[in-house]
């Protein structure tokens, strides 16, 4: 298993997990906003075969700001981290994924256009809706293959991004998300699913 972080030298949770993994988890440096780093990672992985490629990079901005009032640099940062960056990784690394493997990205329920009746978080929602559309386009290009393509909506999780008020812990969420990922292996085509494996409307 390979995990990435922007600062692979940091003694964070990923490094601790790798240290306890008896070599099963290795850590690579990657900033998805830097195309040169994506290309360099692909080069370092040459010769590897991946069962799954899953991109979970994500960020947000001031949640209550209407998108038309967002600073351009915030718009670019969120869209690049949440939509363009993951697609660059997918396009660049996909050739290492097994013919019957899985390629996916961490979306959000907030990326559902149909479910957006509450409003708010306009830039974040837009970036995840863009990610959904881009992954859908990628999936069309994968049709006719045995690969599974997946967008996951993890629910509201207590992370740096989710904040302390979120109802779900990382531990319970990751376990459920891994179950959904594994359930999609060997099932060609695109799905947009929540943490219980239920379909999320586009």
Ligand X SMILES: NC(=O)c1ccc[n+]([C@@H]2O[C@H](COP(=O)([O-])OP(=O)(O)OC[C@H]3O[C@@H](n4cnc5c(N)ncnc54)[C@H](OP(=O)(O)O)[C@@H]3O)[C@@H](O)[C@H]2O)c1
Scanning residues 73 to 132, which ones bind ligand X (CB under 6 A)? 81, 85, 106, 108
Among 146, 161, 169, 186, binds ligand X (CB under 6 A): 161
Q: Contacting ligand X (CB under 6 A), which of 75, 134, 138, 156?
A: 156
Using CB atoms, what's the residue nearest to ligand X?
58
- Scanning residues 167 to 196, which ones bind ligand X (CB under 6 A)? none
Interface with ligand X (CB under 6 A), residue total 22
Instruction: Output the smallest distance, CB 15 to ligand X, in A.
Output: 10
CB of 144 to ligand X, least distance (A): 29
Q: Which two tokens stand for residue 27?
A: 């850590």
Residue 43 or 160: which CB sits closer to ligand X? 160
Instruction: Give the footprint of ligand X on residues 15-74 (CB under 6 A).
Output: 30-33, 56-59
How far apart are CB 68 and ligand X at their closest, in Å? 22
Query: For tokens 């019957």, what's the residue?
Result: 100
CB of 22 to ligand X, least distance (A): 22
Long-range contacts of 108-115 (CB under 8 A, 24+ apart): 108/58, 108/153, 108/154, 109/153, 109/155, 109/194, 109/200, 111/151, 111/153, 112/153, 112/192, 112/200, 112/201, 112/202, 113/202, 114/201, 114/202, 115/200, 115/201
> Can you tell me which residue has the tokens 């396009």?
91
Cα angle 72, 76, 79; round to 5: 135
Identity of the residue, 23 or 164, whose beta carbon is nearer to ligand X in the bound complex: 164
CA distances 18 to 96, 165, 172, Å, are: 22, 28, 20
**β 26-29/189-194 pair status:** unpaired
Closest to ligand X by CB, 138 vs 156, is 156
**Contact residue for ligand X among 2, 5, 98, 187 (CB under 6 A):** 5
Give the helix/strand (H/E) hosting 178: helix 170-184
Binding site for ligand X (CB under 6 A): 5-6, 30-33, 56-59, 81, 85, 106, 108, 154, 156-157, 159-162, 166
């Amino acid at each position: 298993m390979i995990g990435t972080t922007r600062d692979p030298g940091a003694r964070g949770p990923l490094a601790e997990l790798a240290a306890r993994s008896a070599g099963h988890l290795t850590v690579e440096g990657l900033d998805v906003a830097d195309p040169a780093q994506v290309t360099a990672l692909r080069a370092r992985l040459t010769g590897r075969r991946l069962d799954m490629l899953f991109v979970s990079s994500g960020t947000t901005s001031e949640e209550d700001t209407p998108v038309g009032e967002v600073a351009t640099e915030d718009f670019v940062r969120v869209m690049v981290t949440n939509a363009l960056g993951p697609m660059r990784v997918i396009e660049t690394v996909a050739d290492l994924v097994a013919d019957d493997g899985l390629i996916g990205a961490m979306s959000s329920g907030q990326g559902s256009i149909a479910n957006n009746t509450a409003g708010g978080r306009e830039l974040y929602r837009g970036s995840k809706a863009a990610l959904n559309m881009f992954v859908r386009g990628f999936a069309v290009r994968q049709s006719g293959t045995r690969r599974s393509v997946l967008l996951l909506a993890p629910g509201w999780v207590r992370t740096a991004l989710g904040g302390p008020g979120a109802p779900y812990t990382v531990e319970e969420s990751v376990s459920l998300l891994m179950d959904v990922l594994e359930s999609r292996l060997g099932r060609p085509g695109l799905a947009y699913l929540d943490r219980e494996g239920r379909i999320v409307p586009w």
